A and B are shown apart, each in its own frame.
Chain A
């Protein structure tokens, strides 16, 4: 650790918080949020554990692996290939197909001629070269491009790179896409053109319907882009309302590759993401009382001799112990949204937490958090605590009705249907 970095015990305040977060992560580069992980914040917002791990930039996937609960995410190579091919098709010829879609039925947008700028590539770079990865430079190019857009130039921005402050840490997000200025068909001619974020997704829209879960995920991600774009315009001194509340979802139609454009209102998602981002700064309070011994240092020192394993700064046991010091709020939905899910699930199950069975079960148990407590109240072996009387009455009624019903013979099969 460099001497200029204050120790973990530094005074509270932004600098102290930042230092403590760095110490929590240990000497490895921080992982930053992307649109997917920011979108995931809206799924289980109340979890302190994830908030701390994210704020500290801990690589959650690696952490989960190290403690023996690897996440099971993965994308099929077939899906990846298909997604890339479709995006390429939509963006071919400087996104000609995309502009055509907006002008055609059913959107009939009034779209002026656009200048196409690929912000992923340096102006004088070889067009065959891979997308430039220097984020700062790309962000700067994006900023300049949007300054021109703010001045009224119609610009089609491909591969823009936007920034969003997430819990004091800068996250970069990359709309697949493109912001274009257009005027909806029903707007009056004098209405200002707005900027639209377009999101290219390769799931199919069949007979006007798509998988609601996929549409929902796309909408939340697109909301992150809208938000980031609005922040940029605010920085540029331009009214952020220039960015439309609707986003364009570009998907294949039916069973063909033919793209179609769908307008999606993401106001609700924007509000949800904003709410989550606004809550995050309280991270200082979350870590203030944390034992100084807690950290998630995933660094591994190189082995002393060839062929030997490297020395891990922290053992699986130590890492697990650190995790238990920060409160989690497990819900079954975590499995598809957070890399720590299998660890948190096993913890919740071991503790007999009603949450492991899902929010609806916990609610139906009258909000009682512990399964064994609910069962004891139901069986009459434990009394109800204060505020639990209604829950206790229902639980006891349920236990009695269930046990009685087990003794009653069901209506005989093959009997006459009295109900006609």
Chain B
């Protein structure tokens, strides 16, 4: 953790209220997100109990599995979930825009929107991942036929929870606790921040109450049901288990009226567990919407829209479901993708957000101050040509531990590389830094207008902004995987063993 974030946490603890650690919002919030709150049965790998979902805060849909261990009921549940999710996804691809051809890519059509799922916490995302895994290899024939929408749902959920959610900078599948904690420092520990009602209490406490006090109240599972996917064990013991038993007994006795009654009670009990979380998640979305979006938000969402378009095209072209385990090359490619996405996300956040940049200043990777002297005429003669090499002197209070020669760039002009020439202690305290501008000044002998900072201007220079952008290692195409890495991956065809895979 950075010193700055730790200090923000200490300040939050003192003030009893969360402190922002970003100035802008670094995730996209869709105009119409789909909120999904899954509850799973304790002790089972992927037995859904209920899902509350919808795009309308005032009209959530509640799906319940009355007997979580009954296979047919699970598939009915998944079908109903698909009935909710598929139209939501389809509506996002009604309109497309033409993306012009580039060197590497021909002209293509990109969806103008993309779906966005918002879950209360990472556990919710994991629950979706498991549901996706359990559903995507199902088939409409074979020993356990399912509705055609079930395997499709499985592939969608896998895309959201497994493919996109871990990708830095992607906003199609968000865990609210992680997003809020990315933007706010609370006066409690990171462990406690995983509890959505407590975390939100620190950020947005009820009137007349401190965040600290509200968080303490929110931790009581009797007063505020947990945000899932696990239910409160006391609820399982006191409410759920007796209702499930009553329902099983009624079924065994073939008393359909009693079955209906028990199911109705079960539904009501689960609704009561879910409704407070539903409201909390929407409150969290309000908090996010109230923050200004980062400058790169649009571009990042554009990447999400592009990925969404690709994924949907793949499904239409008959691509197989995502494999259980990726091939060696696919895994390496994925790792490289994650890494470069992380780099670019870190970088754009620092460029867009002075509070994020401030963390790097404390760590010595950046410094900020005022320009005190500029020699815009300075040149360097190389061969027969003279190149503009303006000299800039800056006054900073930051301790500059960087060595002469390092390359720097400023968020104010990211594509301009600057070289550190000298650092010396300033008479008035702090440091005086001599910089040489090396690029980003146009093609002429003299710098383009506006490309050289002016005396009196505030600037921040950082090393990592000048670093070479991560390039992906060259990887062989999938069908040329060397045999040492398991040979070419077989195209995944639904095998009998997958279709018949047991699901208790």
Minimum distance in angstroms from A161 CB to a CB of chain B: 26
Residues of A within 8 A of B297 (CB): 413
- Rounded to whole angstroms, the CA-CA distance of A76 and B10 in the bound complex is 36
Of residues B11, B293, B294, B354, which shows the largest number of chain A Cβ atoms within 10 Å of its Cβ? Answer: B354
Residues of B within 8 A of A349 (CB): 13, 212
CB–CB A365/B3 < 8 A: yes
Which residues of B in the span 1-44 have a Cβ within 8 Å of any Cβ on A?
Answer: 1-11, 13-14, 23-24, 41-44
Give 1 or 0 for each of A71-82: 1 = CB within 8 Å of chain B CB: 010111111111
CB–CB A401/B189 < 8 A: no
Q: Which of B4, B191, B504 contacts A255 (CB under 8 A)?
A: B504
- Rounded to whole angstroms, the CA-CA distance of A320 and B453 in the bound complex is 63
- Does residue B153 face the partner (Cβ distance < 8 Å to A)? no
Query: 9 closest pairs, A vs B, by CB?
Result: A79-B43, A256-B502, A76-B42, A204-B45, A364-B6, A74-B233, A82-B43, A332-B189, A76-B236
- Does residue A304 face the partner (Cβ distance < 8 Å to B)? no
- Of the 9-residue stretches A20-28, A33-41, A278-286, A392-400, which lies at the interface with chain B? A392-400
Residues of B within 8 A of A397 (CB): 3, 361-362, 398-399
Residues of A within 8 A of B292 (CB): 410, 413
Give 1 or 0 for each of B214-250: 1 = CB within 8 Å of chain A CB: 0000000100000000110110110011000000000
Residues of B within 8 A of A410 (CB): 23-24, 292, 294-295, 352-354
CB–CB A361/B9 < 8 A: yes
Residues of A within 8 A of B504 (CB): 255-257
For chains A and B in complex, what number of residue pairs have CB atoms within 8 angstroms? Answer: 202
CB–CB B236/A405 < 8 A: no
- Rounded to whole angstroms, the CA-CA distance of A406 and B353 in the bound complex is 10
Residues of A within 8 A of B190 (CB): 332, 358, 360
- Does residue B355 face the partner (Cβ distance < 8 Å to A)? yes
Nearest residue (CB) in A for B216 is A346
Q: Which of A76, A332, A418 contacts B192 (CB under 8 A)?
A: A332
- Rounded to whole angstroms, the CA-CA distance of A349 and B188 in the bound complex is 9
- Rounded to whole angstroms, the CA-CA distance of A75 and B167 in the bound complex is 34
Residues of B within 8 A of A354 (CB): 10
A335-B191 in contact given A78-B241, A252-B45, A410-B24 (Cβ < 8 Å) = yes
- Rounded to whole angstroms, the CA-CA distance of A415 and B355 in the bound complex is 19
Q: Which of A360, A393, A419 contacts B1 (CB under 8 A)?
A: A360
- Rounded to whole angstroms, the CA-CA distance of A204 and B42 in the bound complex is 12
- Does residue A136 face the partner (Cβ distance < 8 Å to B)? no
Minimum distance in angstroms from A283 CB to a CB of chain B: 29
Give 1 or 0 for each of B390-427: 1 = CB within 8 Å of chain A CB: 00000001110000000000010111000000000000
- Rounded to whole angstroms, the CA-CA distance of A333 and B240 in the bound complex is 29
Residues of B within 8 A of A400 (CB): 397
Give 1 or 0 for each of A309-351: 1 = CB within 8 Å of chain B CB: 0000000000000000000000011010000000000000100
CB–CB A357/B233 < 8 A: no
CB–CB A76/B231 < 8 A: yes
- Does residue B478 face the partner (Cβ distance < 8 Å to A)? no
Residues of A within 8 A of B353 (CB): 410-411
CB–CB A72/B296 < 8 A: no
- Of the 9-residue stretches A2-10, A51-59, A102-110, A371-379, which lies at the interface with chain B? A371-379
- Does residue B305 face the partner (Cβ distance < 8 Å to A)? no
Q: Which of B4, B41, B133, B299 contacts A401 (CB under 8 A)?
A: B4
- Does residue A155 face the partner (Cβ distance < 8 Å to B)? no
Residues of B within 8 A of A203 (CB): 45
Nearest residue (CB) in A for B7 is A398
Nearest residue (CB) in A for B10 is A371
CB–CB A405/B241 < 8 A: no
Minimum distance in angstroms from A377 CB to a CB of chain B: 10
A394-B362 in contact given A365-B7, A417-B299, A419-B414 (Cβ < 8 Å) = yes
CB–CB A361/B10 < 8 A: yes
Nearest residue (CB) in A for B236 is A76
Q: Which of B10, B221, B231 contacts A365 (CB under 8 A)?
A: B10
Residues of B within 8 A of A261 (CB): none
Which residues of B in the span 416-467 have a Cβ within 8 Å of any Cβ on A?
Answer: 458
Can you give 19 A-B contacts (C-beta < 8 A)?
Answer: A74-B237, A76-B231, A78-B236, A254-B502, A256-B503, A332-B191, A335-B192, A352-B13, A357-B6, A357-B187, A358-B191, A371-B10, A375-B11, A398-B7, A398-B362, A410-B295, A411-B411, A413-B292, A413-B297
- Does residue B130 face the partner (Cβ distance < 8 Å to A)? yes
CB–CB A414/B298 < 8 A: yes
Residues of A within 8 A of B351 (CB): 411, 418-419
- Rounded to whole angstroms, the CA-CA distance of A81 and B41 in the bound complex is 12
CB–CB B189/A361 < 8 A: yes
CB–CB A81/B355 < 8 A: no
CB–CB A364/B2 < 8 A: yes
Residues of A within 8 A of B296 (CB): 417, 419
- Rounded to whole angstroms, the CA-CA distance of A299 and B11 in the bound complex is 43
Nearest residue (CB) in A for B360 is A401
Which residues of A in the span 131-173 have a Cβ within 8 Å of any Cβ on B?
Answer: none
CB–CB B7/A395 < 8 A: yes
Residues of A within 8 A of B23 (CB): 405-406, 408, 410
A419-B347 in contact given A79-B43, A357-B187, A358-B191 (Cβ < 8 Å) = yes
Residues of A within 8 A of B46 (CB): 204, 255
